[in-house]
Amino acid sequence: MGERTVYFLSDQTGVTAETLGHSLLTQFNSRNFRHVTLPFMDTEDKVREAVRRINEAAAAGGPRPIVFSTLVQDDFRAIVRQADGLHLDIFDVFLEPLGAELGETPTHAAGRAHGMSDVHTYMKRIEATNFALANDDGGISRNYDVADVILIGVSRSGKTPTCLYLALQYGVYAANYPLTDEEFEKGELPELLLKYKKKLFGLTITPERLRQIRRERRALGKYSTAQQVRFELREAERLFRRYAVPYVDTTEFSIEEIASRILDSTGVERRVRP
Amino acid sequence: MGERTVYFLSDQTGVTAETLGHSLLTQFNSRNFRHVTLPFMDTEDKVREAVRRINEAAAAGGPRPIVFSTLVQDDFRAIVRQADGLHLDIFDVFLEPLGAELGETPTHAAGRAHGMSDVHTYMKRIEATNFALANDDGGISRNYDVADVILIGVSRSGKTPTCLYLALQYGVYAANYPLTDEEFEKGELPELLLKYKKKLFGLTITPERLRQIRRERRALGKYSTAQQVRFELREAERLFRRYAVPYVDTTEFSIEEIASRILDSTGVERRVRP
């Protein structure tokens, strides 16, 4: 079987169609897909052009294309249904029962989801991102009083991307502080952190994986030796246990999962909804 | 009518359920919702506890809860269907037609979507994030040769969060360079950037909105005066036009939208799929 093209069609960014489609496709073993996102399909011409592309892919002789779409307008969905492919659209299926429940007909206002309907939301995400950057790696600001959570862990355990994801996705104020030989020699967390003990959350990782990540950054030197990596992780986990800091092993997790687990475990509230 | 509780149930992070639910709800005028995400519902006990919470909310007398869920296991979905609320589950609806199309039965491997099935994907996102941080604000690295895109624009036009979003979501290498009085006085882009002219993409914004954003950061001084803001934006747009740099007005857009528009306009390929 040849490669199958999967289209993500949207009158907006395509993020919802991609997320939906990805969730569904990972339930199957097939992997031979070519992904094509067609965002901002907000005129009839653009939708017809998308259908032309889908039909062209279908005509090429491989397996029939799959089309995940989130098109708000009924007439646009009707056009896409004519394309030579399997068409799955969340609005087709869910809009009617939801409208019946809410006692409302949908406004069909394309561009409202993910739209900057709310300037406030945008600002919150930006502010949280600035906070994460200023408080990265025990950085200059150390505004731990306004932090929602302070991630601690050894170098390259995933602190920075997790903080940035929490900020961008949820508007959560996440600082991070690296655990180094200084803390390990004393066997103590610094006073600076202990003042905010309830906000601390630890990240750990397996030695094998950490070595792999560190080697990409700096192949030589003590930093990525098996011995050093094992020492740091053992001491970090000892500190987590000593101070009863909740922690998660990030080895098998994506950034989304680490972030979700932190929110779930700490009970920190999302400041914005994506 | 009282507040209606909307649940996002998932055996994983809840990101797909939240994204789906948010897209659908924004099609209606109702806004009086309380959002509750219940992630990692991966045992029967947890699912039953979720149903208990939903029924408790229903019994409180307000409008019936709405439940968006992405539960892979049939038996868990069956339990949630018994809850007192409107239950919308993407697996219920789409898994069967998709399986028929692929000629496969779903593997029902909970935790595969968003899972770190692919270490390679994780590394790519981390590397892209490190690149964005090192190349932020015309930063120290200036590895523009490996950049996929270089965002240019005045201070606070949205460059940094957009670069970080492109990195975390799509693994795209995005650098950014601030346009300042230096460029405006010369009326030229620096040689450093012109070497990579095809990678440049401009961000602009309305003067009113930029002033509002800058005031939050620094209320006093020339930085957020109406005159300065208008001058900088006029000169920046003049530079975009002079060098035929494509650009977008970010005023009405969310970070997702700005990022999608950049990928759509430049044709830069996502290095990873979320």
For A203-264, the three-class secondary structure string (H helix, E strand, C coil) is EECCHHHHHHHHHHHCCCCHHHCHHHHHHHHHHHHHHHHHCCCCEEECCCECHHHHHHHHHH
What's the pLDDT score for residue A180? 95
A98 contacts B24? CB cut-off 8 A:
yes
The string of pLDDT tens digits covering residues B71-129 is 989 999 999 999 999 999 989 999 999 999 999 988 766 445 444 456 788 889 999 99
Chain B residues with CB under 8 Å of A126 CB are 158, 161, 213
Which pLDDT value is given to residue A83?
Answer: 96
pLDDT at B169 over 70: yes
List, in order, residues 6 or more apart from B241 with CB less than 8 Å away.
none
The partner residue sitting opposite B19, judged by closest CB among A15, A40, A270, is A15
User: Parallel, antiparallel, or unpaired for β B200-204 and B149-153?
Assistant: parallel
Residues 6 or more apart whose Cβ sits within 8 Å of residue B170: B128, B259, B263, B270, B271, B272, B274
**What are A34's strand-pairing partners?**
A5
Output the pTM of the full model. 0.88
**Inter-chain CB proximity A126 and B18 less than 8 Å:** no
The shortest CB-CB distance from A273 to any of B35, B129, B264 is to B35
Band the pLDDT of B29: cuts 50, 70, 90. confident
The reported pLDDT for the residue numbered A1 is 63
pLDDT computed for residue A274 by the predictor: 59
Note whether B254 contacts A104, CB cutoff 8 Å.
Answer: no
Cα–Cα distance for residue pair A155/A176, rounded to 1 Å: 11
Least CB–CB distance from B72: residue in A27, A64, A114 = A27
**Chain B residues 138-157 within an 8 A CB cutoff of chain A:** none
Mean pLDDT of the region A250-261:
92
Burial code (b: 16+ CB inside 10 Å, e: under 16) for B174-204 equals bbbbbbeeebbeeeebeeebeeeeebbbbbb
**What is the pLDDT averaged over residues A66-83?**
94
Q: How far is A65 from chain B (nearest CA, A)?
A: 10
Model pLDDT, residue B274: 59
Separation in Å, CA of A122 to nearest CA in chain B:
6
- Are residues A253 and A234 in contact, defined by beta-carbon separation less than 8 angstroms? no
Residue range B178-198: mean pLDDT, rounded: 96
Distance of alpha carbon A56 from alpha carbon A49, whole angstroms:
10
User: Is the ipTM reported for this complex over the cut 0.85?
Assistant: yes
| Collapsed DSSP state (helix, strand, coil) of residue A30 | coil
CA distance B121 to A256: 12
Q: Do B19 and A20 touch (CB under 8 A)?
A: yes
Classify strands B33-38 and B4-10 as parallel, antiparallel or unpaired: parallel
pLDDT of residue B219: 73
Domains identified in chain B and CATH numbers = 4-102 (3.40.50), 119-266 (3.40.50.300)
Give the span between the Cα atoms of B133 and B238, in whole angstroms. Answer: 28
Which residues does B66 contact at the CB level (< 8 Å), separation at least 6? A98, A101, B4, B5, B6, B7, B21, B85, B86, B88
Q: What pLDDT shows up at residue B266? A: 94
- CA–CA distance, B87 with B72 (Å, rounded to integer): 14
List CB contacts of A41: < 8 A, sequence separation 6 or more. A9, A10, A11, A47, A50, A71, A76
Residues in Cβ contact with B162 at an 8 Å cutoff, skipping those fewer than 6 apart: B151, B174, B176, B203, B250, B255, B258, B259, B262
Chain B positions in Cβ-Cβ contact with residue A253 (cut-off 8 Å) = 115-116
Of the candidates A35, A94, A256, the beta carbon closest to that of B24 is on: A94
Contact A23 B66 (CB under 8 A): no
Provide mean pLDDT across the span A141-168. Answer: 95
Give residue A191's Cα distance to chain centre: 32
Which residues are CB-neighbours of B56 under 8 A, at least 6 positions away?
Answer: none
Position A222 scores a pLDDT of 87
Kindly indicate the confidence band of residue A62, based on its pLDDT and cuts at 50, 70 and 90.
confident
Q: Would you call B116 and A264 a contact, using CB atoms and an 8 Å cutoff?
A: no
Among A108, A122, A173, A274, CA closest to B35: A274
For residue B73, give the amino acid letter: Q
In whole angstroms, what is the distance from residue A110 CA to residue A131 CA?
32
Residue B220 pLDDT more than 80?
Answer: no
What gap in Å lies between CA B7 and CA B66, rounded to an integer?
6
Which of A 159-198 lie inside 8 A of B, CB atoms?
A: 160-161, 164-165, 168
Rounded to 5 degrees, what are φ and ψ at B267? Answer: 75, 10
Question: Using alpha carbons only, how large is chain A's radius of gyration in Å?
Answer: 24
Find the length of chain A. 274
Is the model more confident about A254 or about A109? A254
What's the pLDDT at B115? 45
Average pLDDT of chain B is: 91
Find, among A59, A45, A199, A228, the residue nearest to A135 by Cα. A199
- Taking CB atoms and an 8 Å limit, are A160 and B133 in contact across chains? yes
Q: What is the pLDDT of residue A217?
A: 75
Residue A111 has pLDDT above 60, yes or no: no
CA distance B34 to B3: 7
For B13, which of A129, A209, A257 is closest by C-beta distance? A257
Residue A141 scores a pLDDT above 90? no
- Chain A nearest-CA distance from B189, in A, is 27
